[in-house]
Amino acid sequence: MAFDSLFCSVLAQVARVARFVTHLCDWASLATVATRAPVEGQPFSNVFSISDGPELQSSGVPYLYLTPMEISVQDLQVSPVSSLSMSLAQTDFCRDSGYDPQSPLCAHVILSGSVLQINGSEADFAKKALFSRHPEMMDWPHDHGWFFAKFNITLVWVLDYFGGVKTVSPEEYFQASPDQTSVRLASDTLHITSLD
């Protein structure tokens, strides 16, 4: 295989891993820049439930269900630029495989981009995506001003094997198939079957 083809093949594989991890994860950590005293201007990490689609209907876009009452959402209202990380450490995969959460073999994906409110048909899809995997959301307090949002990806960082982080463009990411059968985690292709 020519170097160009080999490189594209490896890149496509990394993009598939990113799609796979994003679809599998039910929650993620969001980093914002804090807007409240006494931590104004400091990075701030928080936990949010996500869904990129109902099970086996992956869109690649992490959707969120947010309220302006939430502290990180208040940060986003000042600057939507943020980062979302997801790790297979939240599934049984890493534990069952004996991979430490910090090991790159316990695949984790970091998205750079921004959180944007959505409406119309995209909000309809987000609702289906989120409520099917987080049914509790349907009962969250109606007076909290909940709205649907998406993480608008500008760059994808993938840690799935030794040798440092790899980056994937949004185009490569969205072209890749999140289909589990097409994903070969660099750590061990055999283990993937245990995720069924």
Residues that bind a copy of itself (CB under 8 A): 26-34, 38-39, 42-49, 65, 69, 71, 81-85, 87, 89-90, 98-103, 108, 110, 112, 134, 136-137, 154-155, 157, 164-165
> Residue 90: CB partners within 8 Å, gap ≥ 6?
25, 26, 27
Segment (H or E) for 31: strand 27-33
Strand 27-33 and strand 43-49: pairing? antiparallel
Closest CA to 30 of 58, 72, 2: 72
Closest CB to a copy of itself among residues 132, 177: 132
Kindly tell me which of 7 and 95 has the beta carbon lying closer to a copy of itself. Answer: 95
Q: Which is nearer to a copy of itself, 154 or 189 (CB)?
A: 154
Q: How far is the CB of 97 from a copy of itself (least distance, A)?
A: 11
The CB-of-25 to a copy of itself minimum distance in angstroms stands at 10
Nearer to a copy of itself, 9 or 79 (CB): 79
CB-wise, 155 or 195, nearer to a copy of itself?
155
The number of residues making up the chain comes to 196
Please report how close the Cβ of residue 1 comes to a copy of itself at its closest, in angstroms: 29
CA distances in angstroms from 183 to 43, 62, 90, listed in the order given: 33, 19, 18
DSSP 62: P
Supply φ then ψ for residue 62, to 5 degrees: -70, 120
Supply the minimum distance, in Å, between the C-beta of residue 5 and a copy of itself.
27
| Locus of tokens 């943020």 | 82
The nearest distance, CB 16 to a copy of itself, in angstroms, is: 20
